[in-house]
Amino acid sequence: MGSLQSAKFTKTAHCKLPPANLFSYLRYPMNSNIIIAIDGYSSCGKSTLAKALAKKLHFIYVDSGAMYRAVALYFLRHNIDLHNHGQITEALKNIHLNFHSRDYETHITLNDEEVSEEIRLMPVSESVSAVSAIREVRVEMVKQQQRMGKSKNIVMDGRDIGTVVFPDAQVKLFMTADPKIRAERRYKELLPKNPDITLEEVFENLAHRDYQDTTREESPLVRAEDAIILDNTDLTPDEQLQFALDRVEPFMI
């Protein structure tokens, strides 16, 4: 992560927020198939940014990470051996994922069961990188993701959206942040439902996931050559939203 050339801007020079209505015209795309791909490390706020962008632009938000988490949850529930390709292939035939919107939030269902909260718990977090590294899993999820982007304006976040899923996406962002800051953010998110968890556990989990994500053979986490790096270590959600909106603007009326 340290080798990446950062595009972090100072708050005073580049992140001052515009009037609330400045980007109101951005809801009108120049065409009906704009794709915004957001990749990056775990707990960098990819989902926060993607959701905010989708809401602001009236695009559809597709949480690819939630899809892999839902697969990991199914595998855990059914004791799928991650080294048994026959079991994996059969399991994938029985996994049906859907997204739906409720109260301005995107929720995911696994075989019609709402699992948006359960997939964020530590057992799934500990296994999702290994599950997402399996070729059969990635092939099936990429197929589903690409179908979603054929005729809709979407914002999708994940690990390989700008490199594998949508290499021709109009806007590509690669998000990163200081590992300690990422761990603190994730710890605060997990603590209410995992009161026994420690910051050290979260930090080690993120470090392990970074290693798995960047070194796996199948679709490793890398920055697309044309992706803009967004280091949000010192940025608020509103500031990173403006950063992204500035990059989307050329594709809107």
Q: What pLDDT, in 10s, does the model give residues 211-241?
A: 988 998 888 899 999 999 999 999 999 999 9
Q: What is the pLDDT of residue 32?
A: 64
Three-state SS for the chain is CCCCCCCCCCHHHHCCCCCCCCCHHHHCECCCCCEEEEEECCCCCHHHHHHHHHHHHCCEEEEHHHHHHHHHHHHHHCCCCCCCHHHHHHHHHCCCEEEEEECCEEEEEECCEECCCHHHCHHHHHHHHHHHCCHHHHHHHHHHHHHHCCCCCEEEEECCHHHHHCCCCCEEEEEECCHHHHHHHHHHHHCCCCCCCCHHHHHHHHHHHHHHHHHCCCCCCCCCCCCEEEECCCCCHHHHHHHHHHHHHHHEC
What is the structure's pLDDT at 38? 97
Q: What is the pLDDT of residues 136-147, one digit of tens each?
A: 999 999 988 888
User: Is the pLDDT confidence value at 154 over 60?
Assistant: yes
Q: Across all residues in the chain, what is the average pLDDT?
A: 86
Least confident of 22-31, 173-182, 186-195, 241-250: 22-31
pLDDT band at residue 7, thresholds of 50, 70 and 90?
A: very low
pLDDT digits (tens, 9 = 90+) for 12-49: 333 434 444 444 444 555 556 899 999 999 899 998 99
Q: What's residue 11's pLDDT? A: 35
Label residue 151 by pLDDT band (50, 70, 90): confident
| pLDDT given at position 214 | 92
- Residue 93 in this model has a pLDDT that exceeds 60: yes
4 vs 205, higher pLDDT: 205
Mean pLDDT, to the nearest integer, of 106-134? Answer: 93
- Check residues 165 and 148 and name the one with the higher pLDDT: 165
